[in-house]
Structure 1
Amino acid sequence: MEAYIGLGSNMGERISYLREAVRALEAVPDTELTCVSDVYETEPVGYADQDSFLNMVVVVRTRLSPASLHGHMKQIEERLGRVRTIRNGPRTIDLDLLLMDDVALDTPELTVPHPRMWERAFVLIPLADVVRNQSQLLATTHEHLDRLDGKEGVTRWSNFNWRDESERSAN
């Protein structure tokens, strides 16, 4: 199955947290990282009294169930110091399972597709980077993006050379 994961960080060395999360996702059993978006700096949504975020989306190919992949994602957040005190508040790292093939799931622990992804420019803009070969998903992403306000709060921050990062961490 192919899964799309949103990543965000707005505490400390934000790019370092993103790099560490990508490395940790690469190490998840039965999972292969296949694509990453550029990194975008975004204004906070919801709780506004916090620093700007760096956001990106990665694509993985996995044999794991949505619940199992989600469990690994929560463990990565915990290892990287994620503390949940304020809803939509500051965080070292946030990993959200956005989409997973045609899976539709709604449990107390996990909802796929992510219930608010179509309302968030900070998700849709990097998602558009990684769905270029999937015309229907790209069209749907752009349809939702065209209807959204607040896109000016999302600016490209840098590219993310994950293959180079991965090769360096292996040495």
Structure 2
Amino acid sequence: MASISDNTARAYNDLVEINETGAKGYQEAAEGATSPQLKSQLSQFSQQRAQFASELKQQARQFGINTEAGNTVEGVVADAAAAVHRGWINIKSVITGQDDNAILGECETGDKVALEAYEQALKAEGLPVEAKSIIQKQHGEILAAKNQITSLKR
């Protein structure tokens, strides 16, 4: 097994947290949406993010990284920002009478934050090829989800 850098461990920890938070945020968005089709789509994105977190945890364990105990400063900040973001989904839902467009806008913002975290992780020095591969794949799927959310807003 190759030596894993602190940067790689931080990347895994941050991305697991981002995806766990994204799964919660999308589930809350699904609960607030009025359109049955939108509820279904948002629930699918919630499941996708939970699966991403699971994949990352599994691969991290193969490298000897414990994502359960690895609350990095960056991860704590990202998690706090994401918690605030989830709160905005709830607040905006109440204020706008659960306007689906407002909910989609918040989901779009959440995906933008996730994409930035993935791009930062891909810049980590010493990132193993296997890690880079899964991170790039997930980044592409999050970008596709964000683009779909953007198109639903229109």
Q: TM-score, length-normalised on structure 2?
A: 0.25
Greater helix share, 1 or 2?
2
Structure (1 or 2) with the larger CA radius of gyration: 2
Greater strand share, 1 or 2?
1
